[in-house]
Structure 1
Amino acid sequence: MRRNLLKQAGAVLVLAAVLAGAWAQDDHPVQKRAFELPPNADLSYNLSARQGGFSLSGKALITWRAGDGKYATTAESRVSLLGKITENRSEGAIDSYGLAPAEFYEKRFRHDATTSKFDRGSKTLSFSDGDQTYPLKGGEQDRTSVTWQLVAQARAAGDKLKPGTRWAYFVAGRHDADPWIFRFIKREKVSTPAGEFDAWHVIREETEAVKGQKLDIWLAPAQDWYPVKLLFNDDGKDYVEQSVEKITKK
């Protein structure tokens, strides 16, 4: 499989591709917004992909738990023949920004696991893979938590959301962190194995560094704004698509 697309698939499950670009130490793209955490749930997805001319299919699972001032979320994907190809975990606290990750774990197929640490005491973000560090200023996310931060803030915004709304985040990956910008496109009908949903179509905006690598997410307001579909597209050739088949509230 192509390395770039597997890297993005890991993020989804949590949502994942890097919006690359330089970030100055004295800049910070995050703004405080109201948030409303969704109910605890397990979300199962059908996964389909095209990689190097080969078609693949499998399953993906996302779990979301929050309570007592803490949260934990996991995401993993499996495909036929290869088995598990991505595994992500994020856990931390709830603060005035929303989710405040303490640790992000990522394991990709045929790669060593990595951990990103959010040290609130020293206010430093660091990585097991590399020496890069960033100051923590509030609101930072990782590739798994950012999906749920987006969901929580969209739930709070509700009917105030308008097409063209843009929200910026600062997101940690395996060995560095970058700004991500999500833009709300429009509400539309989306078909999934679990049925048809009225959903907000949200995209991650591209930069020159990730030109051609696209991420689309569909959030369903009537389903507590859970992500009911995600699509990663690499240069219009390879893709990974996840469509929800079951939502189980816990």
Structure 2
Amino acid sequence: MAWALALGLAGGGAAQATPAAQMNPRKGPSAWPERLQLDYEVSARVGSLPLRASGQLQWLLQGDLYEASLTMRLPLVGARIQRSRGRLLPNGVQPLAFSDQTRRLRRFELDWAALRYRHQRDHEAEQVGPLQTGTQDRLSLFFELARRLRLQPPVADALWTVPVLGAGGVQPWTLRLRAQEPTETPAGVLPAWRLARHNTQPEDTRMSLWLAETVHFLPVRILLQEPDGDWADQRLRQLPQA
């Protein structure tokens, strides 16, 4: 379902973030919020059922260690919580652990020294596979894309390829930076860069993100569309307090 992948883009403990964004004392383009919370309104369709939901993205940075969580709560369907923890390095976001909790729990551990990952669902047998340099989990991906936009002047139609870790292992995701456009959200009309998953296969989830400088190039809108017709549209509820 589309709402599932909206969270499938999130271990360690949950980030205890506050609504206010507090700026990291590091200067220049590498500056990053130490604490950030973004709240979203979500509309979705699961089968023939239209749904309304709430979502929340949290981030906590202590030194070069981060914790992030993404939560969505849908009536009838239930909650999905993803968590990612790792390091914020000069050359990119480096996740160390990732979990995805619905009725079942998936856990991933990333061993960068050995370039291997371990994956386990509930109490099933553990699976092991290779990592690629620069691999992101489906939540750390948001922050890696934001980091790139902070460091590089955006160029329309630029293509980025990022290795992304999921239940099927590490797969290359190609994303196209479309253009900056006014984006309607409950927080107002915000200028944001649209980034869309490119060259998807019929069985892939289609994903579009609208990344706005006003929230450190994190998403002010997330649109996911499943091959079976399910979809979820997540839009920023309000701007964080300065």
When the two structures are superposed, what TM-score results if normalisation uses the length of structure 1? 0.80
Q: Which residue of 2 aligns with 1:11?
A: 8
2:119 is aligned with 1:119: no
Long gaps (5+) in structure 2: 11-28
Residue identity over aligned pairs, in percent, reads 25
Q: Distance in 1 between matches of 2:119 and 2:179?
A: 36
Q: Contact 2:207–2:222 (CA<8 Å) still a contact in 1?
A: yes
Q: Which amino acid aligns with 2:158?
A: T
Partner of residue 194 from structure 1, selected from 187, 193, 207: 187
Q: Which amino acid aligns with 1:134?
A: G
Is 125-134 or 234-243 further displaced after alignment?
A: 125-134
Q: Which amino acid aligns with 2:75?
A: S
Q: Which residue of 2 aligns with 1:243?
A: 235
Tell me the C-alpha RMSD between the 2 structures.
2.2
| Structure 1 residue 179, shift from structure 2 partner | 1.0
Q: Which residue of 1 aligns with 2:72?
A: 77
Q: Which residue of 2 aligns with 1:95?
A: 89
Q: Distance in 1 between matches of 2:218 and 2:200?
A: 26
2:215 is aligned with 1:223: yes
Q: Contact 2:119–2:126 (CA<8 Å) still a contact in 1?
A: yes
Q: Contact 2:203–2:227 (CA<8 Å) still a contact in 1?
A: no
* CA shift digits 1:84-127 (9 cap, x unpaired): 1x11000011234311111000012x3x1011110133331121
* CA shift digits 1:222-242 (9 cap, x unpaired): 332121000011248321010
Cα pair distance change 1:54/1:168, threshold 3 Å: same
2:38 is aligned with 1:46: no
Q: Distance in 1 between matches of 2:234 and 2:49?
A: 17
Q: Which residue of 1 aligns with 2:60?
A: 65
Q: Contact 2:6–2:222 (CA<8 Å) still a contact in 1?
A: no
Q: Contact 1:162–1:184 (CA<8 Å) still a contact in 2?
A: yes
Q: Which residue of 1 aligns with 2:158?
A: 165
| Structure 1 residue 60, shift from structure 2 partner | 0.3
SS at match of 1:248: coil
Q: Distance in 2 between matches of 1:6 and 1:199?
A: 22
Long gaps (5+) in structure 1: 14-34
Give the 4+ runs in structure 1 shifted more than 6 A.
none
Q: Distance in 2 between matches of 1:236 and 1:63?
A: 30
SS at match of 1:208: coil
Q: Distance in 2 between matches of 1:234 and 1:128?
A: 25
Q: Which amino acid aligns with 2:142?
A: T
SS at match of 1:142: coil
When the two structures are superposed, what TM-score results if normalisation uses the length of structure 2? 0.82
Is 171-180 or 216-225 further displaced after alignment?
A: 171-180
* Count of equivalent residues: 220
* CA shift digits 1:15-57 (9 cap, x unpaired): xxxxxxxxxxxxxxxxxxxx73531310000011011111000
Q: Which residue of 1 aligns with 2:134?
A: 139
